[in-house]
């Protein structure tokens, strides 16, 4: 099983790529978070999320429509709706039915609003990061709210016993590692600059998206096959890696 993070940016313009879809599994939990967010004013949301006036206005309107006028909102499969750097490199626009089916079985998306999504789950436009400091009833934060729900779902669905973490650090922290049954494999992408290894966030994001695409397109199920991949010129380094950390290096020209 591969995990990636939801992105802040999204695109809900119509795309007739696939008619396949599923419904998110944790709508009751989503509604609890929605109730908390609806208690905030536009100005509160602006400060809470550290966003512009226009984004706060848009986010507030989306929350109102989710609650009271859900039929007005556009819906789209999660893998096609998110449009951040990871998803640009994942580039599902050319996926065939078999690609979507493989992704649906093997890929999961961590979301602050929906918890954990399958690629074909229909989502609505929203903006919410896992680190945002809100308190769903009975919980200190979104991490506490989602931790056991997400972890239990991964334990149930992941028959392989291996979890490939291509999510951001912000989102991966939601998983309760003490309860997680799967072995975690963590690819890390370093640029070599002046003979020193550096993680450049934008390059690492793109590499995570490209690796996810390669796994889906090539139907990779054996993690050792990842070592053969050339991801944007990042190549596996045996000497820097171990059984859990797969290090990929790229020398800057």
| pLDDT given for residue 16 in this prediction | 78
| pLDDT given for residue 128 in this prediction | 94
| pLDDT given for residue 14 in this prediction | 76
Full domain range(s) for residue 32: 2-251
In the chain, the number of structural domains is 1
Q: What is the pLDDT along the chain (253 residues), one digit of tens a residue?
A: 999 999 999 999 877 789 999 999 999 999 999 999 999 999 999 999 999 999 999 999 999 888 878 777 789 999 999 999 999 999 999 999 999 999 999 999 999 999 999 999 999 999 999 999 999 988 999 999 999 999 999 999 999 999 999 999 999 999 999 999 999 999 999 999 988 999 999 999 999 999 999 999 999 999 999 999 999 999 999 999 999 999 999 987 6
| pLDDT given for residue 72 in this prediction | 74
**Beta-carbon count within 10 A of 112 CB:** 23
């Amino acid at each position: 099983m591969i995990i990636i993070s939801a992105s802040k940016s999204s695109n809900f313009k119509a795309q007739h790529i696939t008619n396949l879809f599923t419904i998110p599994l944790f709508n009751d939990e989503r509604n609890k978070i929605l109730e908390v967010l609806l208690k905030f004013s536009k100005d509160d949301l602006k400060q809470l999320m550290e966003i512009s006036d226009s984004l706060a206005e848009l986010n507030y309107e989306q929350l109102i429509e989710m609650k009271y006028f859900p039929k007005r909102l556009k819906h789209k499969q999660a893998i096609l709706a998110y449009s951040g750097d990871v998803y640009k490199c994942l580039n599902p626009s050319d996926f065939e039915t078999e690609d979507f089916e493989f992704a649906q079985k093997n890929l999961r998306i961590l979301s602050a609003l929906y918890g954990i999504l399958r690629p074909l789950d229909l989502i609505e436009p929203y903006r919410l990061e896992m680190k945002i400091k809100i308190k769903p009833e009975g919980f200190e934060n979104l991490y506490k709210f989602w931790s056991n729900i997400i972890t239990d779902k991964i334990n149930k669905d992941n028959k392989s016993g291996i979890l490939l973490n291509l999510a951001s650090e912000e989102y991966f922290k939601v998983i309760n590692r003490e309860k997680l049954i799967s072995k975690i494999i963590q690819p890390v992408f370093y640029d070599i600059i002046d003979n020193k290894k550096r993680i450049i966030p934008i390059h690492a994001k793109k590499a995570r998206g490209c690796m996810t695409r390669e796994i889906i397109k090539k139907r990779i199920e054996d993690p050792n096959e990842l070592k053969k991949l050339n991801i944007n010129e990042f190549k596996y380094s045996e000497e820097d890696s171990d059984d859990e950390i797969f290090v990929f290096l790229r020398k800057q020209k």
